[in-house]
Structure 1
Amino acid sequence: MSGKSLSIIFLFVLSCYQSESAEVRDKFIEEKIVPDVLDDIPDIAMLSVNYPSGVTVELGNVLTPTQVKDKPTVEWTKEDGVYYTLLMTDPDAPSREDPSLGEVRHWLVVNINNQDVGETIVEYIGSGPPLDTGLHRYIFLLFKQIEGYTNFDLPFVSDRSLPERVNTSTKELMDNYDLELVAGSFYQAEYDDYVPILFAQLSGKTIKCSTVQ
């Protein structure tokens, strides 16, 4: 392949990345993820997030709690020797109009290497927007750990625990652990019949799963 052909391919890939980055940035600003969750939004890639139910996260599309109840597959291009942090957060608790509970941390995995090996600090839970609280934003953020492998001094939170997830802060997490945002995406969801099942799980109660359609 000639040098001219390689240059054309490089420029095409660069153009696609710039277009994707602009789309992510515009959507994050439009939906006020900046400044609600982030102080600023640099040029970042779109994170690939796919659920076992068959749905895909597509920069603000509306999904149901039933569709996102199971842990998704998240993919990105990994660099050798780089460690990553993956976060999923909901800044709309109890609602977007009254976010008085701060961010709810739905998932946090740190020290992810290029072999997809990482440490789960906050186990995944799906969306649980309370009844009549409208659409919540569920935001996936991928960070590069600037200092490499890091000791995260944070308590482990199981998928049956709620209190430790509430009133968290993405901005503080970034500042405390020197994280650089490199990719992101988000979806929106509101109440459906799966939400009581999730809250029963988090409270340690039992509930019949037959209510899920």
Structure 2
Amino acid sequence: MSDLQSLFKKHCVVPDVINTPPSELAHVQYSSSLHNVDPGKELTPTQVKDKPVVKWAAKENVYYVLAMVDPDAPSREKPKFREWHHWLVGNIQGGDLNKSEVLSDYIGSGPPKGTGLHRYVFLVYKQPEKCDFSKVPKLPSNSGDKRGNFSILKFSQQFNLGPPVAGNFFVAQYDGYVPKLYAKLKG
């Protein structure tokens, strides 16, 4: 078992989110804050407010799905909205996010005050072929509607994706940016 797989189990991403940990690391970098995501590292909502660059060992003529989920909404002790999805992109051709279909636009982390650390999990799945996502709601970055009670495991089963091929995660807790994020989502 790789270090990455061990960390996914140690932090209970397996079994809280997925059944099988990915074997490959998804490289995630937040350019506005120049922060790389290292598995399990703590970052602040301020540091992750803008869409990151995500790269993995993608094959040129293969389609992928990328998801970012928070299994700890509104808190790890009472995750009644598990999972809240922050980002969902499908039909990513060859790992190029510019050649993709955005299903849910990126929203940074926003743990409520006093709820402690939340896990933010990036998962990459290989698609068997280009998928028809026409029945999946398209959500803009200023909307929190239809993001709670999502299951990336059920989504992956619905589209025959198999286990994730790459992944990463960080933890974050409330900071001063969170009220600004909430105001944007209500606007």
TM normalised by structure 2 equals 0.94
Query: Moved runs in structure 1, 4+ residues, more than 4 A?
Result: none
Matches for 1:35-46 after TM superposition, within 5 Å: 35-41=15-21, 44-46=23-25
Give the Å deviation of 1:151. Answer: 0.4
CA distance in 1, matches of 2:61, 2:81: 37
- The reply on whether 1:142 has 2:124 as its aligned counterpart is yes
Partner of 1:59: 39
CA RMSD in angstroms comes to 1.1
Give % identity: 46
Q: 1:70 to 1:81 in 2, by over 3 A?
A: same
1:157 alignment partner, SS class: coil
Which stretch has the larger CA shift, 73-82 or 165-174? 73-82
Give the Å deviation of 1:154. Answer: 0.3
Q: Larger RCO: Structure 1 or Structure 2 (Cα < 8 Å, ≥ 6 residues apart)?
A: 2
Aligned length, in residue pairs: 182
Partner of 1:194: 177
CA distance in 2, matches of 1:163, 1:113: 27
Give the Å deviation of 1:115. Answer: 6.5
Equivalent residue for 1:176, pick from 136, 152, 158: 158
Aligned residue type for 1:183: A
Aligned residue type for 2:181: L
Greater helix content:
1
User: For 1:86-121, what per-residue CA distance to the aligned partner results, in whole angstroms no more than 9, with x for missing partners?
Assistant: 000000011011111121000011000127110101
Give the Å deviation of 1:77. Answer: 2.2
Greater Rg over alpha carbons, structure:
1
CA distance in 2, matches of 1:193, 1:134: 14
Whether the 8 Å contact between 2:63 and 2:95 is mirrored in structure 1 is no
1:185 alignment partner, SS class: strand
1:165 alignment partner, SS class: coil
CA distance in 2, matches of 1:115, 1:29: 26
**Unmatched tracts of structure 1, length 5 or more:** 1-20, 205-213
Aligned residue type for 2:124: L
1:141 alignment partner, SS class: strand
User: For 1:150-193, what per-residue CA distance to the aligned partner results, in whole angstroms no more than 9, with x for missing partners?
Assistant: 00120100111112111100111111011131000000000000
Partner of 1:164: 146
User: For 1:124-157, what per-residue CA distance to the aligned partner results, in whole angstroms no more than 9, with x for missing partners?
Assistant: 01000000000000000000002x1000120100
CA distance in 1, matches of 2:16, 2:158: 18
CA distance in 2, matches of 1:40, 1:184: 11
Q: 1:143 to 1:115 in 2, by over 3 A?
A: closer
TM normalised by structure 1 equals 0.83
